Amino acid sequence: MTSRERVHAALRHEAPDRVPVNYIANPEIDARLKAHYGLAAIDDEGLRQALGVDFRGVHAPYVGPKLHPDIPDRTVDIWGIRRRWVEHTAGGYWDYCDWPLAGATLDEVEAWPLPSPDDFDYAAVAEACRGAGDFCVVAGGGGTGDIINSTGMLRTMEQVLVDLATDAAAGLRLIDRRLAVVHEVTRRTLEAGRGRVDLLWLGEDLGTQRGPLISLTLFRKHIRPRMQRFVDLGKAFGVPVMIHSCGSSSWAFDDFLEMGIAAVDTLQPEPKDMAPAYLKRRWGDRLAFHGMISTAGPVAYGSVADVVANVRETLRIMMPGGGYCLAPTHALQSNSPTENVVAMYDAAREYGAY
């Protein structure tokens, strides 16, 4: 099978020739893997081929005017989200900070500069699709169309949760202003890749390690209707939809099915009601699964043998009847030894054949 055929078979709950494989990693892991395989630092495609990755992402880069001023010791993106560099024992990362709209009024939210959908390069999407060959082309990502995280990067997560619980006008207006832009950019991206985009990837983190982040009532009031617009967009273009959700999120899976979502991503095995056997038994004939190799498990803290055993056991549970794509639960982190990451992908090839 081609990669594209392989992924589509898995999404249809058919057994492909082997389990489809995806790759997400932070820059430190990416650089170490390229060095391991003797690749140039810019050879993203070479790395994906070395790992046997079936997915290729496409997006429309922003090419419009600068919307927010620079701030010393910060990065500031097109939404005005600010990040600062934080060192840790295995490297570092850009962490969210400042939260410029934390106490914003409705008028301040209305005045906040947001990008125009006209200022993205959709021709780049068409070009990427033409160059994708027989790989599965994915539009969007784990944060596309989300509310809690992306709005929280401007307003704090605590304030966003308060906004949702109290119907705060300023918070809801910020959510809807931002989603209107993202929805239109997504629509034009799917239009530019019409006939060649295979999967639309959305996101909304809904769980903690111990249970739901919000109530089902609140999800159905504020999250689901807004998310449904993106799912319907995928349907309009004949593109199946996958949703990313961290933590204990299986409480929302029945709603996902009602909405028309085809696959669920992340699938951290540690939180409540997220064990692979439980998910496979309860939803495996109706939802496809993507992820489940924990970035907080053996790949980070175990030996090579532990990683191989973890991959084999996950495949043993998830492979029957199709419907599974192997991937890390999140971006592989700097604390994961290179040899463990290599072992993860080697084991997927060795034990993932049907």
Beta 288-293 vs 263-266: how paired, if at all? parallel
Q: What pLDDT is recorded for position 91?
A: 87
Single pTM value for the model: 0.97
C-beta of residue 144 within 8 angstroms of C-beta of residue 182? yes
Distance CA 19, CA 48 (A): 15
Q: Which amino acid is at 239?
A: V
pLDDT tens digits, residue range 323-348? 999 999 999 999 999 999 999 999 99
Q: What pLDDT is recorded for position 38?
A: 98
C-beta of residue 160 within 8 angstroms of C-beta of residue 171? yes
Residues 6+ apart with CB under 8 A from 184: 117
Exposed/middle/buried for residue 249 (C-beta within 10 Å: 0-12, 13-18, 19+): buried
Residues 6+ apart with CB under 8 A from 207: 213, 245, 246, 247, 248, 249, 251, 271, 272, 274
Spell out a b/e string for 93-132, using b for 16 or more CB atoms within 10 Å of the CB, else e.
beeebbbbbeebeeeebeebebbebebbebebbbebbeeb
Q: What pLDDT is recorded for position 348?
A: 98
The structure tokens 């990313």 sit at 244
Q: What pLDDT is recorded for position 90?
A: 86
Q: Which amino acid is at 210?
A: R
Walk me through the domains of the chain, giving residue ranges and CATH numbers. Answer: 3-65+101-351 (3.20.20.210)
Q: Which amino acid is at 307?
A: V
DSSP one-letter code for 85: E
Residues in the chain predicted with pLDDT less than 50, given as ranges, are none
C-beta of residue 142 within 8 angstroms of C-beta of residue 331? no
Distance CA 26, CA 23 (A): 10
Share the mean pLDDT of the chain.
Answer: 98
